[in-house]
Amino acid sequence: MNSATVRSLLVRGMLAGLGSGVVALIVAYLLGEPRVDSAIAYEDGHAAHDHGDGPSVEVFSRTLQSTAGLATGVLFYGLALGGIAALAYCFALGRVGRFTPRATAALLSGAALVAVYVVPFLKYPANPPSVGDPDTIGQRTTLYFLMMVLSVLLAVAAVIAGRWLAPRLGNWYATVVAVLGFAVLVGIAYAFLPAVNEVPADFPATLLWQFRLAALAIQLTLWASFGLLFGHLAERLLNPKPAAATRETSQEAAAPVH
């Protein structure tokens, strides 16, 4: 793949990431923000009860955080995601099987969703405000990113192992073995990495569950939208419809019937 094609795919990946960020932003605003507001109300209520004062003063208003702040974060995240995923796509295209550009984009998006988000999420799920000790935020962040890096490396290793086993076992059994190996190694990582459980005993279980489902829905929307948008753009770039065939089709459709 030449540098011009890589550059074109990178631009399309960033555009697709920005577009998927817009869709994810809508989901985040409709599903995530109401749960954040509820968690903040819980935190302020406990602060007032424990210390006898009102809610803490915010550097940035909650309205600004839930609108411009949310939009900036999600859109920049989508833009960066699109660029990184496009470069990974350039490497994966033609190396993971004889798939069309659109199918490769869909497979890449699905695998990235699982490796980058779902696997770390199952070990260290997202928590709303007021959940977690502020003194351990550095440790919790480190553990989460460690789990994410391990998941991505194991996913890459599973793809390599599947490609190596395919001539010996066939594509189906090679894929099954690679997926099972990935799952076993992820389970071992789950067992050895320390657990984090800092949810207050009186925190509403329904709110915690709804917040985590909303976080998962945002990521699912982001990656699914990216796979569809980028797959369409990549297909048009790499497999353009011949102009001559298009003209012939148009002329045949316009020709009178005798």
Residue 83: closest CA among 14, 135, 37, 26: 14
pLDDT digits 0-9 by tens, 107-160: 999 999 999 999 999 999 988 877 777 778 888 889 999 999 999 999 999 988
Percent of the chain with pLDDT over 70: 85
Section 85-102 average pLDDT = 84
pLDDT digits (tens, 9 = 90+) for 197-251: 888 888 888 988 999 999 999 999 999 999 999 999 999 888 887 654 445 555 5
What pLDDT shows up at residue 56?
53
Is position 218 within any domain? yes
Are 142 and 93 within one domain? Answer: no
Are 12 and 80 found together in one domain? yes
Domain carrying residue 153: 132-198
- Indicate if 190 and 91 belong to the same structural domain: no
Q: Is 119 found in the same domain as 188?
A: no
Which pair of tokens denotes residue 85? 């995923």
Return the pLDDT at 186.
Answer: 95
**Is the residue at 251 inside a domain?**
no
